[in-house]
Amino acid sequence: MNLGNPHCVIEDAAVDRLDLPAVGAPIERHAWFPNRANVEFYRPVAEHEIRMRVWERGAGETLSSGSGSSAAAVAAVVAGRAQSPVTVHADGGDLVVEVSADLAVRLTGPVEHVCDGAFSGEFVAGLERL
């Protein structure tokens, strides 16, 4: 699925027990995804709820993902496993995804500052060369 970035969404009843590095990394780099893909695993919880974990391409397991939550919600709705709006329970918190009949999505949820970072001079110099 493409939401501006590529996603592979898989329903798995054992989502909480998955060894995400062992299963997510090989899927991210599978030949089907020449530009790699984000990989979401979900299971239905209730009519309007799913539990989701995400393996982000190039980053590994993350606590949450807006596009990943949206992709998982769309997949669950299309598969008849959930109905819109879908509350997506991720390790980083809950997001709500509305999926319209034409599969457009509207994502709502909180935003929290998680960390600060700094770029080294070498990295910045590399960007300037681009």
- pLDDT tens digit string along 100-109? 999 999 999 9
Nearest of 54, 61, 67, 63 to residue 97 by alpha carbon = 67
Question: Is the predicted pLDDT of residue 59 greater than 70, yes or no?
Answer: yes
| Tokens (6 digits) for 74 | 């769309």
Q: How far apart are CA 109 and CA 96, in angstroms?
A: 6
Q: What is the mean pLDDT of residues 73-100?
A: 97
pLDDT score of 9: 98
Instruction: Pick the more confident residue, 64 or 117.
Output: 64
Average pLDDT for 53-82:
96
Cα separation of 92 and 110, whole Å?
10
pLDDT top residue among 114 and 124: 114
Nearest-CA neighbor of 10 among 34, 27, 22? 27
Q: What is the pLDDT of residue 42?
A: 98
Q: Are the C-beta atoms of 11 and 82 separated by less than 8 Å?
A: no
Percent of the chain predicted with pLDDT > 70: 91
* Distance of alpha carbon 72 from alpha carbon 39, whole angstroms: 9
Res. 125 pLDDT band, cuts 50 70 90: low
Please state the three-class secondary structure of 40-104 as a single string. EEEEEEECCEEEEEEEECCCEEECCCHHHHHHHHHHHHHCCCCCCCEEEEECCEEEEEEECCCCC
pLDDT computed for residue 127 by the predictor = 64
